[in-house]
Amino acid sequence: MISSLHYISQQTSGATHLDNVQEACEAGCKWIQLRIKNETEETILSTALAAKEICSKYNATLIVNDHPGIARKAGAHGVHVGKLDMSVAAARALTGERFIIGGTANTLDDILVHVKDGADYVGLGPYRFTTTKEKLSPILGLEGIANIMRALKNMGIHIPVIAIGGILAADIPALMETGIHGIAVSGLITHATNKSQTVSSLTI
């Protein structure tokens, strides 16, 4: 079962990825994507192993961004591949049928490729501008996401779609009305004063 709330890890000035993963799990997040850029595979693997321990303690699903081999070695539940990374089909060949595999999408065609390749879910965005991601794809906004969801419905395609990219709490009700499965957030939880209250208040 794909969660309707995905927390994407980030490192901040006062906290590591693992600090933020720990706090997100404590706050009630049950789906964690470990997203580490510009580090060695050794560093990412050691962090993923530690993140798996944290997630296991809180019965949370761990997804590793970009690295299927590391995800498998760390005992993660799955991997998420970006638009500029390997295909979902290539990741599936490395990890096997039981692994959860998600793929990043910016267009309807992106989603159709992921569906053909056997993705379990897609991350659709960016909803609005975000500083979390380098090489940002064109902004979709509410209308763009609504149009893509309408097209999927008309085609009879029902893959879980997770909206991502600068989403605020106030955006969620209108986003959910488009037919998406859920949302992925980073800063909304990382920078929250009361993370538990923020997680419990999200209307998904």
The pLDDT tens digits for 12-31 are: 999 999 999 999 999 999 99
Per-residue pLDDT, 133: 62
Q: Check whether 11 is labelled as a binding-site residue.
A: no
Hey, CA dihedral for 67, 111, 139, 28, is it positive or negative?
negative
Q: Check whether 133 is labelled as a binding-site residue.
A: yes
Q: Check whether 130 is labelled as a binding-site residue.
A: yes
Measured between alpha carbons, how far apart are the two ends of the chain, in Å? 15
pLDDT at 180 over 90: yes
Q: How far apart are CA 125 and CA 68, in angstroms?
A: 22
Per-residue pLDDT, 37: 92
Q: How far apart are CA 176 and CA 159, in angstroms?
A: 15
Q: Check whether 85 is labelled as a binding-site residue.
A: yes
Q: Check whether 131 is labelled as a binding-site residue.
A: yes
Q: Average the pLDDT over 74-102 and give the result.
A: 95
What tokens were used for 118? 């056997």
Per-residue pLDDT, 169: 95
Q: Check whether 197 is labelled as a binding-site residue.
A: no
Per-residue pLDDT, 63: 98
pTM, full prediction: 0.95
CB atoms within 10 A of CB 200: 10
pLDDT at 4 over 70: yes
pLDDT at 203 over 80: no
Task: Identify the helix (H) or strand (E) that includes residue 125.
Answer: none
Q: Check whether 32 is labelled as a binding-site residue.
A: no
Q: Check whether 20 is labelled as a binding-site residue.
A: no
C-beta separation of 26 from 58 below 8 A: yes
Per-residue pLDDT, 85: 84
Query: Domains of the chain, with CATH numbers?
Result: 5-201 (3.20.20.70)
Give start and end residues of each alpha helix (H) in the chain: 17-27, 41-57, 68-74, 88-95, 108-116, 141-155, 172-176, 187-190, 195-201
Per-residue pLDDT, 152: 98
pLDDT averaged over every residue in the chain: 95
Q: Average the pLDDT over 145-173 and give the result.
A: 97
Q: Average the pLDDT over 118-124 and give the result.
A: 98
* Structure confidence at residue 84 as a pLDDT band (50, 70, 90): confident
pLDDT at 134 over 70: no
Q: Check whether 111 is labelled as a binding-site residue.
A: no
Q: How far apart are CA 87 and CA 202, in angstroms?
A: 32
